Structure 1
Amino acid sequence: MNKQQQILPFQFSRFDHGNYLLVNESGEHIFLDRDNFEKFIDKRLMPDSSQYQDLKSKHFLSTQHLPETLELITAKYRSRKRFISNFTSLHMLVITLKCCNDCTYCQVSAEDDDAQGFDMTPAVARQVVDYIFKTPSPSIKIEFQGGEPTLNWETLSETVLYAKKVNQKHKKYLDFVVCTNLVKVDAKQLLFFKEHGIHISTSLDGPRDLHDKNRLLRSGGGTYDLFVENLHNARKILGHDQVNALMTTTVDNVNRLDEVIAEYVKLGFGGVFLRSLNPYGLASENADGLGYPVELFVDNFEKALDSIIQLNLDGTRFIEFYTNLLLTRILTPFSTGFVDLQSPTGAGISGAIYDYNGDVYPADEARMLARMGDNSLCMGNVFNDTYEDIFGGVLLRNIVNKSCVEVMPGCSSCVYRSYCGADPVRNYRETGDFIGRRPGNDFCKKNMLIFDMLFKKLQRNDPDEMDVFWSWVSCRDLAEVRGEL
């Protein structure tokens, strides 16, 4: 036994082929076979062995330099938690609940495009903007949501102009995103987006038959042709990279993800976020016809990822964004800022959402719950409550206290804890409390299975796969990663 050797905190799990996966507080990971694992915990590893040197370099053990080792670990840990110091940077405004689409999985339960009483007025929007600029964050992203936000053009355009005026005093980095289905966006609106540097986030579920299966016009018929026409118009005016798309996986396309990927490539997108169905709004009401087992989603997710990797190896740069997000957490010490997978939760801390009437929620999902009849997660209203009461109030403090995976039952000992996070709003939706039940819920099962799959790839350490992964994480061309440039 080496008495000078000090084992530092880590989590572990029996892994593939009898090996063990170890992950420490700073997010470093290592694989050990059973023999070397037992030698490590018994302090019998020889200092000249490669395993000993790897464990030491990744801060699983320390010898005579413990203070210096702990300082390195804490520096990496602070980097992972840096999102907390900036507080709320993403601010989502629901400026209308009206929508020209009638999507079968609409999470917000949108209203008809001629409905009355569901628009945010310019006066409410100005009050919201005043609240937004009270955030200590040096950067602000204002995201317009709906319904279809372009149906309330007066408030959208006036909010942009007012926010830019307010920012002349605060001088923060200010960014705008409009979440639109692109069905009714016209040239005048696109020119306004270009003038003010506004990005577009839209939706695409695959080729025409898949997209039109669930994304329908209220007047009847599919939306694919209108989407493609206005996608080209938007890119022509704004620039190709100013338009991004998200897809929703239903039972209709879960077994056809290869076709979804092909459609994204055909339309010139640089990647896809393979997103599973969330249990809110019509997606919850229609779950029997839209849903699928988590295991089926992850199995097809892995097949799709393998196809995407091969696509990159064949010369087409194309990213699976959720994989890239997780790999960034695994392979680097940097925070990704992904609100849905943080500890403590990003709800209210990294992002907040403002309903059309000025009500404030910690997350879009909380606002969706209000549409379903449960308004208990409303943090306040911009006309009735102070900024301090809303963002320093009991509700948000309770959410934060119950979303730290480091102390949550079932999470605190999980080998993937350093890379994962909590979704207290979804836990509340499914169980009635913020902590929820793990690992049996779908959120936990999905992420556990995806982590298992990714770590098997990391353990295999195939040079081609790793080159693709590093090209994504480092934002470099594959040829550059391979030293070919």
Structure 2
Amino acid sequence: MTALALIAHNAHRLDVDGLAMLMHVPTTSLFQMDAVSRDVYDLFQRVGVADAAMLQAELSGRFSPQDLADCVQSFVSLDILRDAAAPETPIRIQRVEDIALSTIVLNVNTGCNLACTYCYKEDLTTPAKGERMDFGTARKSINLLLDQAQARGAVNVVFFGGEPLSNMPLIRQVVDYAEARVAELGKSVDFSLTTNATLLTEEIVDRLDAHRVAITVSMDGPRAMHDKNRRTVGGRGTYDVVSAKVRMLLSRYRARPVGARVTLTRGVTDVMAIHDHLKDDLGFAEVGFGPATSGPIAVFNLDNALLRQVFEDMKTLGRRYVEAAIRGENIGFSNMHQLLTDIAQGTKKAVPCGAGLGMLAVDKGGDLHLCHRFVGSRQPTYGNVDKGIDVPRLAAFIEGAQDRSGYGCRTCRIRSICAGGCYHESYARQGDPFSPVYHYCELLRDWVDFGIESYTRIMQANPSFFRRHLEPRRALQ
């Protein structure tokens, strides 16, 4: 055996309740280490480079030569150990030849009847000034999606805004048209939307239910916290109307679990109280949290101290999630669902998300954007629904996004989960969609460690939880 070096950025060890867990960073695969792999790894972690003589000298009293050899070979195959003289492995860029879409996001109206203080939408305006997408543009968008999804059996259509329900006539037309088109092609279609809930009526709820349109409601918790930022254009709080509409929605809608999406801002950071109110008092199936750190008005953004506190509070709620999971219960904390899904599946990302790859967003004029967050921004567009996708331009973006080595991502232990972070978050905060979300980096590494601990504890105590609660959830997405 030649001298081997530990490739430290390809492995991450974490001890959980006496178990030595090793995450293979390139694939996010998680292994429980046995005695020989633990001791071999610890030796290399201590000395950096070792050969056969050192292994024998250090470990032969505890393990047979064959066990040591097998362990070393397994580490070599995972690129955790490598010939000490070998150069660094170059990043493999996956070339983009075509854009195999699975999802199209229709920005059906730039107008919104609320004036939420933290909203990131650059094209947002009042209801009277809202620019609505017409059916001609929407129809072309659906046709583009189906043309680019020929190898897929299912596609997704997302309605966004502004407030999407302010263009409900278009949503009705699109649902009918898309259902007819996929039936002709032998495919299926899923619809989803995010709404502030103020425009919901019984008729709308029943129609969304009949067509299995997945619904997420933007709501920020109990009255005092919700009304701090989520106000009407005239400045009035909206908690009373939203909570009444939510109760009506949850009493009638049965197609899918309904989740709440919370934006955490200064003064709205009580994770536990918000979760308990939305989940237990109002009855949402899930509650997910998104910290505001790059909104257009800095006074609402969380600074580093508040962001750290929010993550600590999310871990506190996460511990309650783990305790419930061990009992076989699900408390509906969607951030934990996603984290545990990434770990359970061994998520391996070359780019942060499907933006520009499996998903594109269409503005009211038919131009194509990376995602809904970029609609109305100064970032480039990538074709339109009349001429199609500008594949060379979009491919150049996606291929460029795969190599963040110039930003420090190459040696990060969560690079296959984070992949540099949200393009829009980076663009809004730093002016560069490729620049990592540095303000999150250490917090996200700690959050993933918490996820590994949580996954290990649930797997040890109640592994059926994942089959009963996470797998059905993925099937609905």
TM-score range (shorter-chain normalised) is 0.7 to 0.9
Q: 1:416 maps to what in 2? A: 414
2:360 match: secondary structure: strand
2:330 match: secondary structure: coil
1:156-195 aligned at under 5 Å gives the runs 156-195=171-210
CA RMSD of aligned residues (A): 3.9
Q: Quick one: structure 1 residues 350 and 447, their matched pair in 2 at CA, closer, same or farther if it must change by over 3 Å? A: farther
Q: Does 1:93 align with 2:94?
A: no
Q: Does 1:367 align with 2:375?
A: yes
Q: 2:26 maps to what in 1? A: 25
CA distance in 1, matches of 2:453, 2:224: 39
Structure 2 counterpart of 1:323, from 336, 344, 350: 336
CA distance in 2, matches of 1:299, 1:191: 40
Q: 2:346 maps to what in 1? A: 333
Q: Does 1:111 align with 2:125?
A: yes
Higher mean alpha-carbon deviation, 5-14 vs 162-171, is at 5-14
What letter is aligned with 1:144?
F
CA contact (8 A) 1:96 1:151 kept: yes
* Aligned-pair CA distance for 1:55: 9.0
Q: 2:245 maps to what in 1? A: 230
Structure 1 counterpart of 2:319, from 305, 309, 322: 309
Q: Does 1:357 align with 2:365?
A: yes
Q: 2:157 maps to what in 1? A: 142
1:54-453 aligned at under 5 Å gives the runs 56=71, 59-62=74-77, 87-109=100-122, 110-115=124-129, 118-136=131-149, 137-239=152-254, 241-254=256-269, 256-266=270-280, 267-277=282-292, 279=294, 283-284=295-296, 286-287=297-298, 289-310=299-320, 313=323, 317-334=330-347, 343=351, 345-369=353-377, 374=378, 376-383=379-386, 385=387, 387=388, 389-390=389-390, 392-394=391-393, 396-405=394-403, 407-422=405-420, 423-436=422-435, 438=436, 443-453=437-447
2:159 match: secondary structure: strand
CA contact (8 A) 2:368 2:382 kept: yes
2:440 match: secondary structure: helix
> What TM-score do the two structures reach when normalised by structure 2?
0.77
Higher mean alpha-carbon deviation, 125-134 vs 83-92, is at 83-92
Q: Quick one: structure 1 residues 342 and 104, their matched pair in 2 at CA, closer, same or farther if it must change by over 3 Å? A: farther
Q: Quick one: structure 1 residues 360 and 195, their matched pair in 2 at CA, closer, same or farther if it must change by over 3 Å? A: same
* Aligned-pair CA distance for 1:133: 1.0
CA contact (8 A) 2:112 2:125 kept: yes
Q: Quick one: structure 1 residues 24 and 59, their matched pair in 2 at CA, closer, same or farther if it must change by over 3 Å? A: farther
Q: Which has the higher contact order (CA 8 A, sep 6+)?
A: 2
* Aligned-pair CA distance for 1:212: 1.0
Q: Quick one: structure 1 residues 264 and 345, their matched pair in 2 at CA, closer, same or farther if it must change by over 3 Å? A: closer
1:273 match: secondary structure: strand
* Aligned-pair CA distance for 1:145: 0.8
Runs (5+) with no aligned partner, structure 2: 82-91, 471-477
* Aligned-pair CA distance for 1:406: 6.6
CA contact (8 A) 1:16 1:456 kept: no
* Aligned-pair CA distance for 1:471: 6.3
What letter is aligned with 2:354?
G
> What TM-score do the two structures reach when normalised by structure 1?
0.76
* Aligned-pair CA distance for 1:270: 3.3
* Aligned-pair CA distance for 1:261: 1.5
Higher mean alpha-carbon deviation, 303-312 vs 224-233, is at 303-312
CA contact (8 A) 1:23 1:418 kept: no
Q: Quick one: structure 1 residues 49 and 184, their matched pair in 2 at CA, closer, same or farther if it must change by over 3 Å? A: farther
CA distance in 1, matches of 2:132, 2:236: 26
CA distance in 2, matches of 1:85, 1:421: 21
Higher mean alpha-carbon deviation, 229-238 vs 318-327, is at 318-327
* Aligned-pair CA distance for 1:86: 8.6
CA contact (8 A) 1:353 1:362 kept: yes
CA distance in 2, matches of 1:343, 1:430: 19
